[in-house]
Amino acid sequence: MIVLGLSGSLTHDPSAALFIDGELVAAAEEERFLRDKHAKNRWPYHATRFCLDFAEVKPDKIDYVAFPFAEIGCTHPGRLHFAKRYWYAPDRALNALFNGNRHFRRNRRGILQLMADFGIDAQRSPFVPVEHHLAHAASAYHLSGFAGKCAILGIDGKGEYATTFFGYGENGVIHKIKEFYDPDSLGGVYGALTQYLGFEMLDGEFKVMGMAPYGDPDKYDFSRLWDCDGRNFKVNTDLVNVVGLRRYKDRQRGYYFSSKLIDWLGPKRSGDEIDDPYIDYAAALQKQLEETSLQLVENYLGDILRESGRLCFAGGVALNVKLNQRLLELDCIKELFVQPAASDAGTAIGAAAFVARQHGDKVKKLKHVYLGPAYSNEQCLAALEKHPGKPEWRKIENVPAAGARILAEGHPLAWFQGRMEFGPRALGCRSILGDPSHRGVADRINAQIKYRERWRPFCPSMLDTVAAEILQTDHPAPYMTFAFTVAAEWKAKIPEVVHEDGTARAQIVERETNPRYYALLEELAKLRGIPVVLNTSLNRRGEPMICSPEDALNMFYGCELEYLMLEDFLVTKKPAA
């Protein structure tokens, strides 16, 4: 059976994913092809074309088209809750009651048009909507590979009306225990405070998390943002998750917080520096997110976790690695699987996995996320010969050894190899690398290449043979979805990838899934005794991760990078005249 999953239901992060006989064979985000971060208000045309071309699937061979947004009935508690909680904006409340599926109809029209444009017959290949949070849950549960019963957690901004999902999976079936509904959203509050702290919602939440360790989480009491008794959860919509006239407005832009938040906390932050009191606000927010999440997990999933020891997690908040670290520290959790494309792009995977399982396929465990396009040496050479920068290049016989020598000399290296990653993390195919034992390499990458805030942390990729020693755990970590406390003896060895609080968001690299990257780490270990590289995504600030050789070369000539390993070609800039 062939199932095509498509996302973009909430006007951002459209993507496509293709399952064949229960195996995820291809997936890509539209932003990578358009070079437009989050590809807002777009449908995944380029991503769909890639998936079909890669798998050599003709449109008439597709059995189902799955989509992560469903029709919600008139008496559904989510619609009623929304109307009640947004009473102060009567237009929104009445819309929820009497026209609550307008977004679903827009989505259905858009996907049916995409299907028609690709020649996918909706009669032969039905359009199948899946509830948004059920798609998040399916993306984590079905791809986890967990056998037996396991708990499922989903936390993000919102779907149709739901914002938070608690359930469990057993024998391939997902059971819903509890949902919370808009505006009662942990992800929504974190996004609103992300805006207040001077970053873009959907893009800056990582920055808030990175800022938090610099502050004192107990200096300010943020409990007024929401009430939680461990079972019930209610956001203070006088302050955050606001709509309509309650929104704070500045320069004709409305924000998801109110003027009362400004009255309480002071002016909205601006600029790139980490400064008081904003670092303390970030710390207080992060602490409250963690503590509330743990309370709710204990209440709704505690018994299941003590029985099974396994938790699957997806939704945008699942990318909060500090929360994931706290979850891993719970005695009742033996193994935590965070779906690596946990935000809305990953719902294309979830919807397709759910439909595949519903129609009889057994969904196979996710082995890696190298699911996007790859480019041959011939394609790279064509891009080199056409580029106006007239790059200097030479073909390399031993790419890992040559790359390791550049890193060992203290230089950053752009690393473009194999299939592009799916999800927000660079995992050794579209990466900028550095030797983390060279002090200052992180500042150099920030200042000269990434052009991002200098205080943000970089992450390590490390060989599986030393990971347990460095991270003090043998828990799987192939996707940079967890923070771990770095062993004391290693902090001085790899200072450029240890954050302010002594943790690192690590990727453990295995030879089977990325042999060339693994070989690079082995070569660096021979030269420097350090089987770890600093790894950050191959892009500049505000841009999507690089997709094609042309994209890589354009970035190379738009920053101060000196070395680019483009498949088997080492590319350097011509010296200035």
Report the catalytic residues: 12
- Cα–Cα distance list, 312 to 152, 153, 165, 270, 315 (Å): 5, 6, 11, 36, 11
Helix/strand/coil (H/E/C) assignment for every residue in 10-37: CCCCCEEEEEECCEEEEEEEHHHHHCCH
Q: Classify the phi-psi angles of 372: left when phi > 0, otherwise alpha if psi is within -120 to 50, otherwise beta.
A: beta
SS3 391: coil
Of 341, 313, 256, 337, nearest in space to 7 by CA: 341
Tokens of 4: 């095509």
Cα–Cα distance measured from residue 240 to residue 248, given in angstroms and rounded to the nearest whole number: 10
Q: How many helices (H) and strands (E) does the chain have?
A: 19, 24
Q: Which residue has 């505690």 as its token pair? A: 302
10 Å Cβ neighbour count for 105?
11
Query: Is the peptide bond prior to 183 cis by the omega test (within 30 degrees of 0)?
Result: yes
Is residue 368 within a helix (H) or strand (E), and if so which, with residue range?
none
Pairing of strands 310-314, 335-338: parallel
* CA count, 13 A, side-chain hemisphere, 137: 29
Of 351, 347, 291, nearest in space to 320 by CA: 291
The dihedrals phi and psi of 295, each to the nearest 5 degrees, come to -60, -50
Tokens of 354: 């759910």
Is residue 420 within a helix (H) or strand (E), and if so which, with residue range?
none
Is residue 355 within a helix (H) or strand (E), and if so which, with residue range?
helix 347-358
Tokens of 274: 């980490």
Cα–Cα distance measured from residue 246 to residue 88, given in angstroms and rounded to the nearest whole number: 9
Tokens of 380: 């790279």
Q: Which residue has 């399982």 as its token pair? A: 357
Of 31, 14, 10, 47, nearest in space to 542 by CA: 31
Of 227, 144, 136, nearest in space to 176 by CA: 136
